[in-house]
Amino acid sequence: MRLIDTHTHLYSNEFLYDRDEVIQRAIKEGVERFYLPSINSSYYDSMLSLKNDYPENIFLMIGLHPCDVKYESYTEELLFVKNKLKEGKFAAIGEIGIDLYWDKSTLAIQQDAFRKQICLAKKYKLPIVIHVRDAFEEIFEILREENSPELYGILHCFSGTLEQALEAISLGFSLGIGGVVTFKNGKIDQFLKEIPLDKIVLETDSPYLAPVPFRGKRNESSYIKLVVDKLSDIYEVLPDKIADITTMNALKIFKM
């Protein structure tokens, strides 16, 4: 079984004492590639160090997380993203987007940062990986405005409605499915079968959102097999088919 974790924060301090063991456990379970989203410039060196340690397995994104869009620093952070794109090769621009759960007062600059990073994605012909929380309409408003064949990617950690899923797909995006699909109150398991499998990729968002039976504990990439098993039940196909299709989907998005 070949698997890809399209979204994992392996550089997190949650893995400070056993990072290599976590990676090796995942590799033994068939996870061949790990895609690391960026949060802000302070994490870049740690991400690059991991890439250097596992050049065949780890792939980096670059971007400014919406929760780190601050009035005093976001212009400088966007300049960092722009300069790094000139220097190196990245798999995607992410994670970017809008988050109104924690702070609604920064909506205007979150929208500005999102638009500017979309422009960079189009310029460099890269997919975007979108973080959205309590902001689906705000995200879709910008995606509709920016809609073009050059704009595509993943709606990370999808937890919306069927209607929102279908709109995301119509705008050129795939859905990142992780531990939430195993939650009793996750709701997406109730309609996911109506979404074509070729529009789904797997993720963990580790160390966050561990699937059942590890909910509430630290997540890690090896647990992605629990997501595969749940999707196998939902779609009524063998786990190997879920793995094969979602792996190919991810490779197409990241152009690997």
The two structure tokens encoding residue 187: 């709701």
What is the per-residue pLDDT across 196-237, written as a single tens digit (0 to 9) for each? 999 999 999 999 999 999 999 999 999 999 999 999 999 999
**pLDDT value of residue 176:** 98
- Is the pLDDT score of 256 beyond 90? no
Cβ atoms of 31 and 2 within 8 Å: the answer is: no
- 186 has a pLDDT exceeding 90: no
We report the CATH number of the domain holding residue 232 as 3.20.20.140
Domain that holds residue 229: 3-253
Structural domains of the chain, count: 1
Report the run of H or E that residue 241 belongs to, with start and end: helix 239-253
pLDDT of the residue at 46: 97
Q: What would the pLDDT profile of 121-142 be if each residue is shown by its tens digit?
A: 999 999 999 999 999 999 999 9
The arithmetic mean of pLDDT across residues 53-58, rounded, is 98
* Residue 56: predicted pLDDT: 97
Q: What is the arithmetic mean of pLDDT over 84-109?
A: 96
Average predicted confidence (pLDDT) for the chain = 97
Task: Tell me if 240 sits within 8 A of 1, measured CB to CB.
Answer: yes
Q: Is residue 70 pLDDT above 80, yes or no? A: yes
Mean pLDDT of 57-63: 98
Looking at residue 6, its pLDDT comes to: 98
Judge whether 37 and 6 are in contact, CB under 8 Å: no
Q: Which residue, 86, 26, 93, is CA-closest to 59? A: 93
Residue 45 confidence class, pLDDT cut points 50, 70, 90: very high
Q: What is the pLDDT at residue 139?
A: 98
Helix (H) or strand (E) holding 62: strand 58-62
pLDDT at 159: 93
Residue with tokens 């195993």: 182
- Confidence band, pLDDT 50/70/90 cuts, at residue 194: very high
Within 10 A of 16 (CB to CB), how many other CB atoms are there?
8
CA-wise closest residue to 95 among 148, 133, 46, 146: 133
Query: Which strands form 153-155's sheet, in the order they lie side by side?
Result: 3-5, 31-36, 58-62, 92-99, 128-133, 153-155, 173-177, 200-202
Residue 96 CA: distances (Å) to CA of 16, 21, 72, 190, 224: 25, 29, 18, 27, 23
Q: Model pTM?
A: 0.97
Is it the case that residue 88 has pLDDT exceeding 90? no
Distance CA 129, CA 95 (A): 5
